[in-house]
Structure formats: C-alpha cells, structure tokens
Amino acid sequence: MSEYRNGSETARNAARDARSEATDNSSEMESYYLQPGYIYASHEGIFLNTVLGSCVAVAIWDCRNMFGGMCHFIYPYQEKNARNARYGDVAVPYLIRLMQELGSRRHELKAHVAGGGTNPELSSGVGERNSRIAEELLRRQNIEIVTRDVGGETGKKISFNTQTGELLVYTTSRIREADWYR
C-alpha cells in the first residue's frame, strides 16, 4: 500500500511540476500588440494583444502543431483597389493561408472571433457586418469557431496565447489611451 501511495505522490508531483513549467514558459513569452490592419502567424509562442471596438479580431489555433495567428480588421469588405488587411474579406483568408503555409491542415484549425461592437451614437452597423463576414468566411472554410464574443456596446481588450490557443477577453465600457499599443 505504501508503494502505491508513493507512486501516486510521484505522479501528482510530476503533474504539478509539468503545470508549473508550462506556467513558467507562458510568463516568459513575448507579447506583441497587433494593430488594426495587421496579421501575425508564427510557430513561436507569443501573446498577441489588441483592442477592439467595431473592429474584429480572428485568432486561429492549430490544435495539432500547437501554434496560432491573428488578424485585426477594420471594415468587412475591401474598397475598390484597396486590397489589404484592413478588410475582413482579405485578412481572414490570408490568415488561413499563412497558417497553411506554416504546416496547418484546415480541419485542425480552431477559431476565436471577438469585437464587432456598436456605438449607440453612430448608426453605421460596421461592427455587425465585421463579425458577420468573419464568421461566414470561417464557416465556408469549415473552421470551427470555438469562441464568439461579438457585439454589444463595450470595447474589448483581448490576449491570445498562440502556444495554448487560449483567448482572454476583457470587456470595458471605456477604452483608455493606455490600452492602445501596449
């Protein structure tokens, strides 16, 4: 009986050490602020952070290779001759392509969609259109959306761990200047 206990204690200690090591690695990871109109994907573990109002961020994680990327776009559709990552219909497919170029298979990708808020003083509806195009493009590619935090009248500050696929969403009624570019 004492051998069994010692074995269980050893297993518990090993599990605790493994969790501690994973936590230690996360605390040492670099952080990058993803500005509107940018895309980032890499095998390196990093925290990707951004601040959203009506903009939408799509974070994609490869659950087999354990890496990820994110795009942050401002408008749903590109304007005439303006093909860049400020537009969801450009940014989302490009992020998917980057992930595939880094070795991902589409059926092993999981997505988070956040942002798309509304400003009650404006009636543009751009936030709703942004979230709709993101979800539509992911569905067309058969990429499962595991987190959907869109809409509302609040801003969101998000942090995506490209190593674990975890997304943290902080909701705020007021975006402070210090939230930008940090």
Residue 66, pLDDT > 90, answer yes
- Pairwise CA distance, residues 130 & 57, whole Å: 9
Q: Is the whole-model pTM more than 0.85?
A: no
Residue 180, pLDDT > 90, answer no
Residue 150, pLDDT > 50, answer yes
- Pairwise CA distance, residues 20 & 170, whole Å: 25
- How far is CA 142 from each of CA 31, 43, 44, 60, 103, rounded to the nearest angstrom? 29, 22, 25, 13, 17
Tokens of 42: 């890499």
- Pairwise CA distance, residues 117 & 172, whole Å: 11
Tokens of 177: 């200047």
Specify the range with the lowest mean pLDDT, choosing from 7-16, 53-62, 108-117.
7-16
Distance of CA 121 to the CA centre of its chain: 28
Beta-strand relationship, 46-52 and 155-161: antiparallel
Is residue 47 very low, low, confident or very high in pLDDT (cuts 50, 70, 90)?
very high
Is residue 173 very low, low, confident or very high in pLDDT (cuts 50, 70, 90)?
confident
Domains, in order of start, for the chain: 29-179 (3.30.1330.200)
> DSSP secondary-structure letter at 84?
S
Q: With beta carbons less than 8 A apart as the criterion, state whether 160 and 26 touch.
A: no
Residue 102, pLDDT > 90, answer yes
Other beta carbons within 10 Å of 127 = 24
